[in-house]
Amino acid sequence: MRQVDRSSVGVPPSLDRDLSAEISKIREGGEASSKIYRHNDVLSRLRELYLDKCFLCEIFVGNKGVVEHFLPWHKNFPARAYQWENLNFSCKDCNDRKRKSPYRIPANLHQAATRTDLIDPSNPPFGCKVDELIHFNKHREAVSGERESLKSEVINTIKFLNDPMPLCYRNRRWDEFIEVVFQADCKKDWWAFRDMREINPADWEDKVFCEKMSALERGDAIYEMFLRERSPFYTCMKYVVFHVLRLSANDFKRMSEAYRKYKGFPFVSDK
């Protein structure tokens, strides 16, 4: 789960207009119009906001993602159908599970939901940041952060993220990472880069240059594959990498920046 800032993309034009007539239809018992809340401009901005990943589990979904309502719309709450702040980008599995107990309150689908007992990454509760509420341990399991650990939103989000399916996906991603790290066999060099005030290959002696440059290149590759914000399960990976390797995502970012600067390659933003 990665915190996002909705102001970074703005309200889609299809929602930034008078929708009172459409809202009245829902209030009178009609259906919400998917042509509005799934309009191309809504999808486009949600994909940009969530970097093509599910807003809850962070699996890559791309054009297979669905527009979901954090609080379900209902004739008693018709405006929820078209409120930009209530729309997210989700994988099908998370969207389906989110509708069930204990996450939907009340669980009865025929009753209006009064709340969704999960953390909304675009508006985290208690005046906290998502990273203050949810961490991941070295086993890729979601755990409580340093604040509000007894709140139901935090407890249920941890339960949701530790469902067998998303946990399996995170474990698979970690296995891929470990295989790349094992093949690279560069941890000592990476730790040395971590401790450098500035990584500057121009200062390296000839006898160690090739070995260090190879390690730097592999650090760049790992950053690109696993530790950019756009990468699947980025939030989990940044915690687990630090737990296991004592290297941060920012350490790999510095390697990537240094490698690309020396080679004259453009540095790709972490997003």
Contact between residue 86 and residue 107 where contact means Cβ atoms under 8 Å apart: no
Query: Which tens digit of pLDDT belongs to each residue from 217-243?
Result: 999 999 999 999 999 999 999 999 999
Alpha carbon distance, N-terminus to C-terminus of the chain: 15
Q: What is the pLDDT of residue 109?
A: 82
- Name the DSSP letter for residue 180: H
Both tokens of residue 51? Answer: 């970097």
Angle separating helix axes 164-184 and 234-245, nearest 10 degrees? 50
Q: What is the pLDDT of residue 110?
A: 84
Please, where in the chain does CATH 1.10.30 lie?
6-116
> What whole-number distance in Å separates Cα of residue 61 and Cα of residue 34?
19
Instruction: Write the CB contacts of 260 (distance below 8 Å, at least 6 apart in sequence).
Output: 220, 266, 267
CATH of domain 6-116: 1.10.30
The predicted pLDDT at position 270 comes to 64
Residue pair 15/82 in contact by the 8 Å Cβ criterion:
yes
Q: Is the peptide bond before 72 cis (omega within 30 degrees of 0)?
A: no
Residue numbers in the chain where pLDDT is lower than 50: none
Map tokens 């929602």 to a residue: 15
Question: What pTM was estimated for this model as a whole?
Answer: 0.92
Contact 230, 268 (CB under 8 A): no
